[in-house]
């Protein structure tokens, strides 16, 4: 790879963010532990009847994963803005949108992927039937990058403000409604033995759109944030 | 002065000014930087030196006037990487080592012919500290690690915002030596300082900003 080429720039950003996450690997475990604890609370709160738990399992896992991703999103650009790395990314010869896309990918790998790995455990704690497990995993695999990309736009928009954590949640959660409906819908359909690919296809369409548009929007928002 | 810039002009500001909410931050200023030029931007605290730098990098939109790069209107989308900027925030990741930080910069911007991250770190006096996480370096050593980026990257124009801050006497000499070498290679640099500065190569061009 030629230094300074687009491929090497993407690799450099991706490798940098993954290395940074690995140096602080305790932080990777946080969202996973959070999701585990929240899921454990549900049987205590609603009662341990297997039929009831199985009915809510899909929805609970999605909302828990959504909140766990949200917790880590806030940090997506903050450290880079504070230590001046964002300026270096902006002045680089490559399009900022591409580099932001790499940052989102690294964030998804370090925060959402571990959640997908533990999702079968969470779902079986809530007695989700094994037949619905493929639908759950596929829905998560498509819904979480969609959430990361939507979140990146909003994090970039709120990057200028000091206390952006709650603001971010208030802005992102309404946008997640369709994602949760389609994802949980696919799992519910699979539980009842109905075809469940249609809602997944809708999620996929959303993801394709987000992959194209979200990095551009994030980059534009970051440029505005850096002007203040 | 003719309106056509001579080809050796790298960076040119024409009636450049910036206002924040109708309050003038600096300008209008006119200057040009030719190959081999080192210019010093002088001004008291709050006179807009950093803002001028950010406008020149393209991160801030100039309110009035133009920035030309090699005779063309400057824009980050077409000329990214032509300028290397060293600001108050050094752009170093504290959990990465000095060498890893330089590797990231090299991946983003490319590398000047005949140099390498290790060589750049040796020149700035961080030989032996290459694999030390940046957070364990002193403030002056961090600055040196950021200066190594200047040596490594191929950009011809350096914009250095307060490069002398946090440096000991040897460090100041190092910055001057880097600037001299850059000018000799046909590069240009704009340096801000609020204090007295003596360059090695005699009296620099001065651009004065008033608060």
Please give the pLDDT value at position A3: 75
Give yes or no for residue B17 having a pLDDT over 60: yes
A6 touches chain B (CB under 8 A): no
**Would the CB atoms of A12 and B104 count as touching at under 8 Å?**
yes
Please give the pLDDT value at position B1: 40
Express each pLDDT in A148-190 by its tens digit: 999 999 999 988 777 777 888 899 999 999 999 999 999 999 9
ipTM of model over 0.90? no
Residues near B195 by Cβ (< 8 Å), separated by ≥ 6?
A: B164
The total number of structural domains in chain A stands at: 1
Residues 67-86 in B contacting A (C-alpha not used; CB under 8 Å):
76-77, 80-85
Please give the pLDDT value at position B2: 42
Q: How confident is the model at residue A145 (pLDDT cuts 50, 70, 90)?
A: very high
A223 touches chain B (CB under 8 A): yes
* A200–chain B nearest CA distance, Å: 36
- Name the residue in chain A with its Cα closest to that of B153: A4
Please give the pLDDT value at position B205: 81
Mean per-residue pLDDT over chain B, rounded: 86
- Name the residue in chain B with its Cα closest to that of A85: B91
Residue with the larger pLDDT of the pair B7 and B139: B139
Residue A196 CA to chain centroid, in angstroms? 22
Give yes or no for residue A139 having a pLDDT over 70: yes
Q: At what angle do helices B139-152 and B169-184 cross, to 10 degrees?
A: 10
Separation CA B31–CA B13 (nearest Å): 5
Q: How confident is the model at residue B90 (pLDDT cuts 50, 70, 90)?
A: very high
Q: Enumerate the residues of chain B whose CB falls inside 8 A of the CB of residue A9.
A: 107-108
Express each pLDDT in B95-120 by its tens digit: 999 999 999 999 999 998 889 999 99
A127 occurs within a structural domain: yes
A66 occurs within a structural domain: yes
Q: How confident is the model at residue B3 (pLDDT cuts 50, 70, 90)?
A: very low
Residues near A144 by Cβ (< 8 Å), separated by ≥ 6?
A: A65, A69, A108, A112, A115, A116
Structural domain including A70 reads 6-227
Separation CA A100–CA A107 (nearest Å): 10
Average confidence (pLDDT) over A42-65: 93
Size of interface A-B (CB pairs under 8 A): 99
* B109–chain A nearest CA distance, Å: 5
Q: Please, what are the domains in chain B?
A: 35-54+80-208 (3.40.50.300)
Give yes or no for residue B80 having a pLDDT over 90: no
pTM (2 decimals)? Answer: 0.91
- Name the residue in chain A with its Cα closest to that of B82: A93
Positive or negative: CA dihedral A158, A164, A169, A170? negative
**Would the CB atoms of A16 and B104 count as touching at under 8 Å?**
yes
A218 occurs within a structural domain: yes
Separation CA A50–CA A43 (nearest Å): 9
Give yes or no for residue B75 having a pLDDT over 70: yes
Express each pLDDT in B168-199 by its tens digit: 888 888 999 999 999 899 899 999 987 666 66
A81 occurs within a structural domain: yes
Residues near A54 by Cβ (< 8 Å), separated by ≥ 6?
A: A126, A127, A128, A129, A191
CB A87 within 8 A of CB B87: yes
* Tokens 């803002």 -> residue: B51
Give yes or no for residue B27 having a pLDDT over 80: no
Average confidence (pLDDT) over B60-70: 87
A1 occurs within a structural domain: no
Please give the pLDDT value at position A112: 94
Separation CA A169–CA A74 (nearest Å): 9
Q: Nearest-CA neighbor of B149 among B201, B81, B204, B200?
A: B81
Q: How confident is the model at residue B152 (pLDDT cuts 50, 70, 90)?
A: very high
* A17–chain B nearest CA distance, Å: 10
Give yes or no for residue B7 having a pLDDT over 60: no
A8 touches chain B (CB under 8 A): yes
Separation CA A133–CA B46 (nearest Å): 61
Please give the pLDDT value at position B211: 61
Q: Kindly report the CA angle at A138 between A137 and A139, in degrees rounded to 5?
A: 90
- Specify burial of residue B205 (Cβ count, 10 A radius: 0-12, 13-18, 19+): middle
Residue of B59, B104, B110 with shortest CB distance to A90? B59
Q: Enumerate the residues of chain B whose CB falls inside 8 A of the CB of residue A83.
A: 89-94
Residue A228 DSSP code: -
Express each pLDDT in A12-48 by its tens digit: 999 999 999 999 999 889 999 999 999 999 999 999 8
**Would the CB atoms of A87 and B84 count as touching at under 8 Å?**
no
């Amino acid at each position: 790879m030629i230094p300074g080429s687009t491929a090497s720039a993407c690799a450099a950003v991706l490798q940098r963010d993954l290395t940074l996450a690995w140096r602080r690997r305790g932080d990777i475990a946080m969202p996973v532990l959070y999701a585990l604890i929240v899921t454990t609370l549900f049987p205590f709160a609603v009662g341990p009847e297997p039929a009831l738990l199985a009915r809510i399992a899909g929805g609970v896992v999605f909302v828990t994963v959504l909140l766990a991703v949200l917790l880590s999103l806030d940090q997506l650009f903050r450290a880079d803005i504070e230590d001046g790395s964002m300026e270096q990314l902006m002045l680089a010869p490559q399009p900022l949108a591409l580099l932001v896309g790499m940052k989102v990918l690294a964030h998804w790998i370090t925060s959402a992927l571990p959640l997908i790995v533990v999702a079968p455990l969470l779902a079986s704690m809530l007695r989700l039937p094994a037949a619905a497990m493929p639908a759950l995993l596929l829905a998560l695999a498509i819904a979480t990058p969609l959430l990361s990309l939507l979140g990146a736009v909003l994090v970039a928009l709120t990057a200028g403000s000091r206390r952006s954590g709650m603001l971010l949640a208030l802005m992102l959660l309404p946008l997640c409604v369709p994602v949760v409906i389609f994802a949980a819908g696919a799992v519910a359909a699979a539980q009842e033995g109905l075809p469940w690919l249609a809602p997944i296809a809708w999620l996929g369409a959303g993801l394709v759109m987000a992959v194209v548009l979200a990095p551009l929007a994030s980059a534009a928002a970051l440029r505005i944030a850096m002007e203040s | 002065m003719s309106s056509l810039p001579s080809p050796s002009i790298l960076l040119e500001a024409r009636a450049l000014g910036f206002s924040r909410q109708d309050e003038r931050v600096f300008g209008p200023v006119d200057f040009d930087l030719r190959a081999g030029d080192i210019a010093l931007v002088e001004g008291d605290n709050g006179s807009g030196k950093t803002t001028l730098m950010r406008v020149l990098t393209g991160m801030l939109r100039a309110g009035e006037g133009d920035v030309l790069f090699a005779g063309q209107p400057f824009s980050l989308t077409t000329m990214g990487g032509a300028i290397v900027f060293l600001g108050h925030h050094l752009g170093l990741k504290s959990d990465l080592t000095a060498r890893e930080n330089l590797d990231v910069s090299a991946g983003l911007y490319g590398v000047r012919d005949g140099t390498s991250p290790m060589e750049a770190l040796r020149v700035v006096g961080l030989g032996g500290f290459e694999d030390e996480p940046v957070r364990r370096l002193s403030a002056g050593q961090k600055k040196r690690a950021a200066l190594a980026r200047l040596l490594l990257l191929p950009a011809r124009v350096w914009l250095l915002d307060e490069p002398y801050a946090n440096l000991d006497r040897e460090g100041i000499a190092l910055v001057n030596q880097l600037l001299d070498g850059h000018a000799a290679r046909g590069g240009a640099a704009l340096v801000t300082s609020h204090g007295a500065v003596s360059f090695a190569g005699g009296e620099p061009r001065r651009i004065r900003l008033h608060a």
